[in-house]
Structure 1
Amino acid sequence: MITTLAISGYRSLRDIVVPLDSLTLVTGANGSGKTSLYRSLRLLAETAQNRLIRTLAAEGGLQSTLWAGPERISRQMRAGVHPVQGTVRKDRVALKLGFSDDSFGYAIDLGLPSAEHPFPLDPAIKLEAMWTGDLFSKASLFAERRAGMVRLRTARTHEWREVMQGLSPFDSMVTHCADPENGAELLALRERMRDWRFYDALRTDPEAPARRPQIMSYTPVLSGDGGDLAAAIATIRAIGDRETLDEVIEHAFPGSSLETGTGDHAGILFSQTGLLRPLGAGELSDGTLRYLLLVAALLSPRPPELMVLNEPEASLHPSLMPALARLVVLASAKCQIVLVSHSQALIEAIRHEGAVSEIRLGKSFGETGAPDVDAPRWTWPKR
């Protein structure tokens, strides 16, 4: 389980370190930085897919994604004695992302590309580091990438060995040096990060993929857009927790049941009290369909190490918040969940369900902070 998330230089996240628990609720007013924190986790996951550079370029490159305020905000600026203004830069331009658990940690440091590079929106990877334990130190470091050189420390002799020279500044050591023999630790890290799951684009509009007949095939993981909902529900019934599936449907819609059609191409069949026939996905309201999509995601027979939900309450009626809260808490017993929300009804419902770690974000002078959270210790590796 990830216990610490660290971000520096990304949008309003000038420098923030937050703890993560088995279920972490990220809250705050609009514009407080919730989406930026969510995107930071996605960027880390993109590293393991070798898509980090492309994703940042699509956001406008470092010039658009870097912290836009002064490098440092002095006490005089915060007190209003001095105006908030730029100062002479002392540190290198950098966007840093990192996380750790009790076993190991990982950090990546991105900077500006060289002047002659033909793709100016692509940031360059300047440094990567992987270490044992939750806190970085030179003694605990066992994998390091500086510029194009990657070296690993041997497990037996603890001596450093160089495993690659000339690694492109746009390729990560996590993807290009992960090897069962020479980079087993990097391979394990890559596979862990590739297992992270994100849901922020579950579609419920009239043309949503979930509303169409689907190919029925073994589907232990719901797709990002929910296009294989029927197959995912059928898989839960075949090899998953069908009792919990029935329970969460009953809790949200008393007297209702959820099944799937038969044949190679089928859809969901949602039966409700008082109706003479079950409804298909194309006939459901946006809120009902979204809840069913969240059920399929959270009751996956193959739960991930980490699942991140961004504003899952969209389209849901407030009466469904207690059912969604219970569903999330049940799922957090099998995988770590980070849930980003500004719905007070959902927040209160999750609190009512039991213990939850909460990160309330706020802004001061354009900078996102978590004033009510005790930040874990964190040290960034230096270039």
Structure 2
Amino acid sequence: MINRLRLENFKAFRELKLPLGALTLLTGVNAAGKSTTIQALALLRQAHDAGVLDADGGFLLNGDLVELGVGRDVLHEDYSDGRGKRAVPIGIGLTIDDHDVAWRVGYDPSRDREADLLRFGDYPLPDPGDYEPLPGLFGLGFQFLKADRIVPAVHYPKSYEAAVRKGFLGARGEHTVNFLRTHRDDEVRASTVRHPDAKSDGLLDQTESWLQVVCPGVNLAAEDLRGTDLVQLSFGFGGTAGIHSSNFRYRPTNVGFGLTYSLPIIVACLSAGEGALVLLENPEAHLHPRGQTMMARLACLAASAGAQVIIESHSDHVLNGVRLAVKEGVLTPDRVALHYFDRNDGKIDITSPQVGHDGMLSEWPLGFFDEWDRALDRLLD
């Protein structure tokens, strides 16, 4: 498991040392660095997948996972110059079970302003054996779902490479329907994440049962459009799930955003095995409060089964879902990390409240999900 993330001169941070848990919740004001922390991990994965995480490579800034622009977009505005050297160090480091590894590039402002591959140069690199044991970040257990996920559509791509060989849902969840079609009968191995009301332990039935928390009575079907490189998703209300469901089917475009938007998150959590790494941006989008709380609980259940889950969220319902999961024994407090990002006078401050066994927080920083109380005070004034 990744115990700590370290950043140097990277985007929002001149220096960052951020503890991570089995379940990490990143919250706070906009443009305060929450996405930067997730992007740093995705950037390492992107460089690894491209085969450039070695002495001849570097940080590949633009790819399928993240599009960070060019060198000048990544360098922190108030950077540390690395002992006066011409090349400014930009680094990403991890602590893995108390063992430190780090990757650093040398950014030359006169040469690398427009470069989208920042090279490692003369900086020492970790031995691959030091980080390859991370099946989540560098193996088949990686999922990263951006805030701008797939929208309701008539068809979705059918990629054997992504959905079958790599088991990847896509950064926007675009391969989720094909993954679900291919693995519909696969057993959800972790008993902790299985929905008790599902008809079976198969992935499709389990996905449907969790989706019914968002929309009671819904069922879904994922079909192959033969002779094409496309698959089709449809929803029904009542009846049974499956490839051939007899009840009237609805296109995703006719049932709203919430079901389609939440589908990749549910599938990611159900399919996350031990050692997996799941990065989720705004899992609450387009969901009513009960659905938001459910997403947090499912993420906690995945973490309790051995995955590592990192969530960026602006929802107090997601926060409360995590707190309830701790109170109900899904996760122990020491396996949860909460971080609140704020900006004060141009500087980013991070406060990390602790969750007690009763779900209560050790502190409640100013601005930390307090808008309800502030609005209520004004209404009662």
TM bin, normalised by shorter chain, reads 0.5 to 0.7
Q: Give the length in aligned residue pairs.
A: 304
Q: Report the Cα offset of residue 240 of structure 1.
A: 2.9
Structure 1 residue 198 corresponds to structure 2 residue 178: no
Residue matched to 1:67 = 76
In structure 2, stretches of 5+ residues that fail to align are: 189-201, 240-245, 355-381
Residue matched to 2:369 = none
**2:60 counterpart (54, 57, 65):** 54
Whether the aligned pair in 2 keeps the contact of 1:214 and 1:228 (CA below 8 Å) is yes
- Please list, as runs of the form range in 1=range in 2, the aligned pairs for 1:88-103 lying within 5 A after superposition: 90-92=83-85, 93-102=88-97
Q: Deviations over 1:63-118 (max 9, x none)?
A: 332221374xxxxxxxxxxxxxxxx9855422111001226331012222496789
Measured in 1, the distance between the counterparts of 2:232 and 2:353 equals 45
Measured in 1, the distance between the counterparts of 2:169 and 2:312 equals 19
Structure 1 residue 256 corresponds to structure 2 residue 218: yes
Q: Report the Cα offset of residue 259 of structure 1.
A: 3.1
**1:268 counterpart (233, 249, 253):** 233
**2:352 counterpart (372, 376, 379):** 372
Q: Which amino acid aligns with 2:285?
A: A
**2:101 counterpart (106, 110, 114):** 106
- Please list, as runs of the form range in 1=range in 2, the aligned pairs for 1:357-368 lying within 5 A after superposition: 357-368=337-348
Structure 1 residue 326 corresponds to structure 2 residue 297: yes
Percent identity of the aligned residues? 21
- Please list, as runs of the form range in 1=range in 2, the aligned pairs for 1:304-343 lying within 5 A after superposition: 305-332=276-303, 333-343=305-315
Q: Deviations over 1:310-340 (max 9, x none)?
A: 1222222334212212221222224111111
**1:212 counterpart (118, 139, 155):** 155
TM-score by length of 2: 0.67
Q: Report the Cα offset of residue 279 of structure 1.
A: 1.8
Measured in 2, the distance between the counterparts of 1:303 and 1:224 equals 21
Residue matched to 2:30 = 30
Whether the aligned pair in 2 keeps the contact of 1:200 and 1:310 (CA below 8 Å) is yes
- Please list, as runs of the form range in 1=range in 2, the aligned pairs for 1:20-169 lying within 5 A after superposition: 20-49=20-49, 50=52, 52-55=58-61, 59-69=68-78, 71=80, 90-92=83-85, 93-102=88-97, 104-113=99-108, 122-125=117-120, 126-130=122-126, 143=127
Q: Deviations over 1:103-159 (max 9, x none)?
A: 6331012222496789756533142343xxxxxxxxxxxx4xxxxxxxxxxxxxxxx
Measured in 2, the distance between the counterparts of 1:224 and 1:233 equals 16
Q: Which amino acid aligns with 1:226?
A: G
Q: Report the Cα offset of residue 5 of structure 1.
A: 0.7
Change in 2 beyond 3 A, CA 1:192/1:41:
closer
Structure 1 residue 344 corresponds to structure 2 residue 316: yes
Q: Secondary structure in 2 aligned to 1:277?
A: coil
Q: Which amino acid aligns with 2:187?
A: G
Structure 1 residue 221 corresponds to structure 2 residue 221: no
Measured in 1, the distance between the counterparts of 2:214 and 2:114 equals 50
Measured in 1, the distance between the counterparts of 2:318 and 2:131 equals 38
CA RMSD of aligned residues (A): 3.6
Change in 2 beyond 3 A, CA 1:276/1:123:
closer
Measured in 2, the distance between the counterparts of 1:25 and 1:290 equals 20
Whether the aligned pair in 1 keeps the contact of 2:13 and 2:76 (CA below 8 Å) is yes
Measured in 2, the distance between the counterparts of 1:111 and 1:262 equals 47
Q: Secondary structure in 1 aligned to 2:351?
A: coil
Whether the aligned pair in 1 keeps the contact of 2:41 and 2:137 (CA below 8 Å) is no
In structure 1, stretches of 5+ residues that fail to align are: 72-87, 131-142, 144-173, 175-183, 375-383
TM-score by length of 1: 0.67
Change in 2 beyond 3 A, CA 1:367/1:41:
farther
Residue matched to 2:258 = 287
Whether the aligned pair in 2 keeps the contact of 1:360 and 1:371 (CA below 8 Å) is yes
Whether the aligned pair in 1 keeps the contact of 2:234 and 2:252 (CA below 8 Å) is yes
Q: Report the Cα offset of residue 343 of structure 1.
A: 1.8
Change in 2 beyond 3 A, CA 1:60/1:234:
closer
Q: Report the Cα offset of residue 191 of structure 1.
A: 8.7
Q: Report the Cα offset of residue 53 of structure 1.
A: 3.3
Q: Which amino acid aligns with 1:5?
A: L
